[in-house]
Structures are given as structure tokens and as C-alpha cells.
A = this chain, B = another copy of it.
Amino acid sequence: MRNKTTMDGNKAAAHAAYAFTENAAIYPITPSSAMAEYMEIWASEDRKNILGATVQTVEMQSESGAAGAVHGSLIAGTLASTFTSSQGLLLMIPEIYRLAGELLPGVIHVAARTVAAHALSIFGDHSDVYACRQTGAAILASSSVQETMDLGAAAHIAAIKGRLPFIHFFDGFRTSHEMQKIEVWDYDELYKLYDMDTLMDFRKNSLNPMHSKIMGSAQNPDIFFQNREASNQYYDRLPSIMQDTMDKINKTIGTDYHLFDYAGAYNAEHIIVAMGSVTDTIEETVRFLNDHDGKYGLIKVRLYRPFSTKHFLKAIPAGVKRITVLDRTKEPGSAGEPLYLDVIAALKDSNFDNIPVFSGRYGLSSKDTTPAQIKAVLENTSKRRFTVGIDDDVTHLSIPTSDFFLWLPNDIYECKFWGLGGDGTVSANKSTINIIGNNTDLNVQAYFEYDSKKSRGLTISHLRFGKSPIHAPYLIRQADFSACHNQTYMHKYPIVQEIKDGGCFLLSSGLNEDELESFLPGQVKRYIARRNIRFFIIDAISIGRETGLNGKISTILQAAFFKVTGILSEKTAVKLMKTAAEKAYGKKGDKIVKMNHLAIDIAIKSVREIPVPESWKKCVDDNLDHELLPDRPETLNYVQNVQKPIVKQQGDNLPVSAFLPYADGSCP
């Protein structure tokens, strides 16, 4: 049994990568940067890889330079890795062809991110990875933080054995930035899984004056084609090398990974084929629906390239009547999205040749993909090509989503924290999740929703913990606990409306009961009262002033959270928070640590429950629209139809038609 620690997907991938890397050539790009940063930090701490060496890291001038350095290292017989996303990966494409052509076992860990089109997006989908599917690199998908740890290692192990470069990818933000308590590789175990003989072959085959040879020659029409076909066997062999690798991993750590993993009913009639974090959502939704007489299933694609038709067909249940392929990309003008095309080709001439195959686009740019969307996909029997998760009222490709809600197991506690970018809420929540994850036997998950400005914008932290495993790679819609760290939000966002009946609400505010009565909008008060929500308040700003922390109120609110929820005993919580503060602020001096300790003690005592007046049940809605509108008609149109809903956190509800005037990404 491996040690368990709480970390995000980037750290998990970096932990696996460090083990098998000698040279890491890096160039930072969101959301992959943290992987490269971990490599540098660990190298500076002289951490050893499985070969007993410290990784050499070098930052290049761009991603193409990083890929070039990886290429150079590998040709010289040095194990090399890099880390990237989106346009960074696109800049590596020419080198990836070379790595594959020259049979070099480099590994590129990719936090998959949207490629910029009409607009830039730092968020996640698979458009960048799909843009590399023709390069000849093997491509392996991880769908959770744990898999990123496990399969991140598999990529390196199979690369050296198979003599092919790997792109190992996982969902940008959703997995790269999601924190989970996961099992962590012990490097001694990884050493045992690594094939030292093929490593020696790799070294021997490198460019070396002692046994000279030429690489990178130019070939003419007479021989290029034949030489290109001489590598076929490496691709033919790779699927079984990867399955072998997975088998050994399974044996070592008790997992059950396959090239294509089936989950669901043995007699499923409708199955989904997908890869990435959505597979967790699908698996849970399928499980629930099958418990209610559904006949559904799921094939998780792990080894996407080389695509093994043989293994894929084996994973399909015999009685299937309908297959839906979900692609997290949009390739405008194509005959079909990429995974769909592969599946159609794989089914051709098989027993499943005449089965209808549906194709759906979902989750572009980290659009949250919910169980309700998956249910809609499973129940769609009419639209062969569709989108899900949006309202396409123009080309009518979207399928409607019901208000289906998949309740997690009762023991899972869900919390949302509404903060202001830079106010420390996200950091405090990371600390919270570490405290709970590393000091209890609870499973934990944290995801942080913020826009690309990162600072001074709204942040929403989504924390889950509980005894059951947490397979919910989507946002929390109904929380057991919500905290509002900035009281002005009460007039802007439906914070309490996203709390479960009987849940807890914590407001950071210096207002007294009378002031609250007039400050809180009618719809908020009514919701609190009618849904039996317990209402807590803490004057974090005053405590901050009092203790000298001033605006840095996140520790205060963290303490209030522990107090209100009682997740840990008060004594334990205080002790662990204080230790965390020492760790976090120790470098800044004793004074800061002491201020935090004091703030924790005061906060625990200050948080108090507000009795909810019966009268609130009858409150009427206040008008919360107070915007200044621009003069110019085209600007007015944009502000009314696009900008206002976005600011109200209702951009998700905008239909496609709202963007028709801005189809080219322009805005007034």
C-alpha cells in the first residue's frame, strides 16, 4: 500500500515524471507550469530520480526550444521530459514528428488546454492533444489525479521499452488543478518496474564518438517511403507493451488498468466512449442509472495512440445497440470529431458495423460537464451529431439537459467558498483540504473556479470530503456549507440559493442583525428561512484589523469554517491550523505566525449563529440590477446580452445566438 497524500494533478504528474527524467527542458504555460516548477524545486532540493541522479532542468526560450532540447538530450542518450499545454504543445509539433521518427522515448506531460481560436482560453479541452494525433507519438490519457500519478509512470516505462515518445495528458485545470488525496509512487517500486536492459540499449544507441553514426539525414524519393515503413513494428508492438506495463502496475498497486477500460452493465445497450476526466462523471452517472433499470456502459480510452482496434472491439459488450462518442474538441469543417472517426473506423467490418454511432462535443474550454449532461447523452436517440452543455438555438445541435441531479453518497460533505481573487481564500482552502486529507481517513477533493484574470475577480472554491471515494470532476451545485467572504457578493450572486436544504451559510460581515435585515436582499432572506439554512456570521475584517493581519482574512475564515462544520474537533482543528500557519508563514517570521495563531483563537470564539426570523419566509425579491448602461447601440447590445449575464455568473446560460454578432471573437 502506497502512502497517501493530498495533491493536484500537476504535482502527481511531476512526481511520476521526476522519477524517470534526467533532463527536463521546460517553458511555462498555464495550466502546465506547476509541473515544470515542481521539477525545478525538487532538483534544487537534490531529490534523486529512480536512477539515483538529480534531474537537470533548463528553461528554454519557447516551447519549440524545449522540445528541441528534449530531442537533443534523447539523441545523446539522456532521458528527457517536458511539460506543456495548448499553443505550447503546437509549437512542439515539428519536433514530435522527429522524436517519433527517430524512435526516441521522450515524454511530454500535457495539461490539456483549449487552443485559441475566436478567443484565447486558458481552460481545458483536448484540442491541443488532438492536434498531435498524426505525429506518431503514443498518446496516453489520465482521467483523474490518481491516474495521472499511476499512468504518468506508465508512459515513461512503456516509452523506453517501446522506443516511442509519449504524450501523457490529463484535463487542464479539472485534473491539473484539482486536489485529491491519492496514493503516491514510491521510487523504489518504480525502479523495479523500469526495464534496465532497454535503458542500456537506449544509451548504447545514442550519438557517441565511440560508436559514431549519423542522425537527421535527408532522404530522397527512392528510399524515404521504405524507411518510414521500417518502423511499423514499433507501433504494432506498443499496445501490448503498454498492457504489459499496466499489468505490472496493476499487480504492484492493486489497480486494474487496461488500454480500454469498460465500466457499466454487462448487458449494456448504450455505451459512451470517452477519455479524460469526464469518464469519472460518466461512470458514476451510469452506475446510478443502471441501479434504476438503465442498461448503460462506458469505455474509457487510455491508450489513444497507437489506437488498438483489436483491444477496443474486445471492450465493447456484445449486446450493445447504440454507441456515443464524446470528444472534448471542435474541429470545424471535419467529417467528424477525432475520437468519433477512430471509433467508426474501428467498428467497420466488425460485429458492430451496423450499430448507430452518435457523436457529441462537450466541455470546451472547461465548460463544466455534469451528470445531467451525461444523462442527456445517454437518453439521446435522435441527434446523431450533437453538442451538450450549451443551448444552441442557431444550428440546433445541442441536446436538452434536464435538471437531473446525481447525489453523491451521504457521507460526502460539499462546501463552496466565494472569495475575491487575491484575498487568500484559495490558499486557505488548499490548507484546509491538506489538513483534512492528511490528518483524517477521509477522501478529499478541491477545485478552484476562477477566471483568467486570477486576481481581483471572483473565486469559488469547491471542497468535498467524505469516507467514500470522490468521483465527481464537476462543480458543486448544491453545497452542505457555503461561505461568502465578501459581503457585496450577496447582491450579485445566488450564493445561498446553491445551498442544500438545512445546510450552513457563513457570511463574513461586520453588520449586526438590524443592518443585515436591511442589507440582505429579500430573495436571500426568504431562501434562508424557507430552506432551513443555518446562518453564521463572522466579522473577519475587524478581527483582521485587531490582530494586524488586516486584509489577509483567510485564516480567520478557515477557523470559522472548522468551527461551523465540526469536521474536526475544535481542539484538533486549532492545532492543525496553527501548524499549517507555522509552515506557511514560518519563513516570514515569528510575528506573522503569532498574528495568525491569535486570529485563529479569536475566530473560533467570534463566529456566531444568527437566528433566522420567521418573517424572512415572506420576503419579496429586491431589484438587484443597478448597472450603468453605455450609449452606443452596438455596445449596449453586447453589455445587455453578453456582459451582464457573465458578470452575474450566468454566462453558462447564454445561448449560441447571443454570440452570433461576435462569432469572430470580436467585442465592441
Contacts and interface: CB of A to CB of B under 8 A. Distances in A.
B664 A103 contact: yes
A657 B223 CA distance: 12
A384 B350 CA distance: 13
Contacts of A218: 119-122, 452
A219 B121 contact: yes
Interface in A366-393: 366-368, 384, 387, 389-392
Nearest to A395: B232
B224 A365 contact: yes
A168 to B, nearest CB: 15
A120 B231 contact: no
A664 B205 CA distance: 10
B100 A90 contact: no
Contacts of A657: 230
B333 A342 contact: no
A663 B231 contact: yes
A400 interface: no
Given A226-B659, A230-B662, A235 B392 contact: no
A567 interface: no
A615 interface: no
A121 B230 contact: no
Contacts of A61: none
B348 A357 contact: yes
Please classify the interface of chain A as helix (H, G, I), strand (E, B), loop, or mixed, using the class held by over half of its residues: loop
A306 B335 CA distance: 8
A394 interface: yes
Contacts of A333: 136-138, 235, 238, 305-307
A651 B222 contact: yes
A333 B214 CA distance: 26
Total copies of this chain within the assembly = 2
A442 interface: no
B365 A225 contact: yes
Contact of A331 (B94, B136, B217): B136
A435 interface: no
Chain A interface extent, by class? 35 or more
Contact of A229 (B234, B357, B394): B394
Interface in A580-629: none
Nearest to A364: B225
Interface in A58-86: none
A658 interface: yes
A137 B216 CA distance: 31
B395 A236 contact: yes
A326 to B, nearest CB: 14
A117 interface: yes
Interface stretch (A127-135, A153-161, A190-198, A420-428): A127-135
Nearest to A212: B668
Contacts of A138: 333
Nearest to A122: B218
Given A357-B348, A392-B229, A134 B94 contact: no
Nearest to A668: B213
A179 interface: no
A353 B134 CA distance: 26
17 contacts: A97-B115, A98-B116, A101-B665, A102-B665, A120-B217, A120-B219, A121-B218, A221-B652, A226-B654, A226-B658, A229-B387, A229-B392, A231-B664, A232-B332, A232-B394, A235-B332, A236-B395
Report, nearest first, the 9 A-B pairs whose CB atoms are least far apart: A222-B651, A101-B117, A306-B333, A224-B365, A101-B118, A335-B342, A230-B659, A225-B364, A230-B663
Given A225-B389, A226-B658, 12 more contacts: A117-B136, A122-B218, A223-B646, A225-B364, A226-B390, A226-B656, A227-B662, A228-B364, A231-B332, A236-B395, A306-B334, A344-B345
